[in-house]
Amino acid sequence: MSAGPADSVTRALRGRCPACGEAPLFAGVFRVVEVCDRCGVRHERQEGTWVVAAGLSAALGMFFGGGLTLWWFAEHHEVVSPLMPALVGLLAIVLSFRVLKSLLAGALHLAGEVTPDAVVEGKVIHLERAKAERERRARHGDVKKV
């Protein structure tokens, strides 16, 4: 069975790597594995990858906390205790953050933004060799002028 485009998202929502669907996507409750143990793709390409998920999760928290405050005032014509909307908002954040991170990881893979990790693939070694070769040539005056 070949993997379709939607498989990236469904695999991630199941808590699995969106690329291989085998290895776990999360190393903790909210922490995404940096590089897949099985297929070697890098889930977090750069710092701040998950800011979108955090922002959406916070927006959901404010929506439900603020919505509760407004609904309570409309129903009971009195101001609700600030503790209740804070708890509802916090609950919305806790429940949505992992799901939103999964959705984002799946969407990033679907968009081709998840690529093999350079260290796992060994490309860093090739880059270091190329750099050493460039330096050796520069020392010996063997650099091609472009």
Q: Could you tell me the smallest distance in angstroms from the CB atom of residue 36 to Zn ion?
A: 3
Asked whether position 45 contacts Zn ion by CB under 5 A, the answer is no
Q: Are 42 and 60 in contact (CB under 8 A)?
A: no
Phi, psi of 40 (to 5 degrees): 80, 10
Q: What is the DSSP code (8-state) at residue 44?
A: -
Cβ 57 to Zn ion shortest distance, Å: 24
> Which of 8, 9, 12, 19 touches Zn ion by CB under 5 A?
19
Closest CA to 11 of 26, 31, 27, 28: 26
**Helices 83-110, 51-76: inter-axial angle, 10-degree rounding:** 150
The total of other beta-carbon atoms located within 10 Å of residue 68's CB is 18
Nearer CB in complex with Zn ion: 9/19: 19
Residue 108 interacts with Zn ion (CB under 5 A): yes or no: no
Rounded to whole angstroms, how far apart are CA atoms 27 and 88? 26
Token pair for 29: 């409750």
* Least Cβ distance, residue 21 to Zn ion (angstroms): 7
**Which region, judged by CB under 5 A, interacts with Zn ion, from 16-24, 25-33, 110-118, 135-143?**
16-24
Site string for Zn ion, 21-40 (x = CB under 5 A): --x------------x-xx-
* Contact between 20 and Zn ion per CB under 5 A: yes
Q: Which residues bind Zn ion (CB under 5 A)?
A: 17, 19-20, 23, 36, 38-39
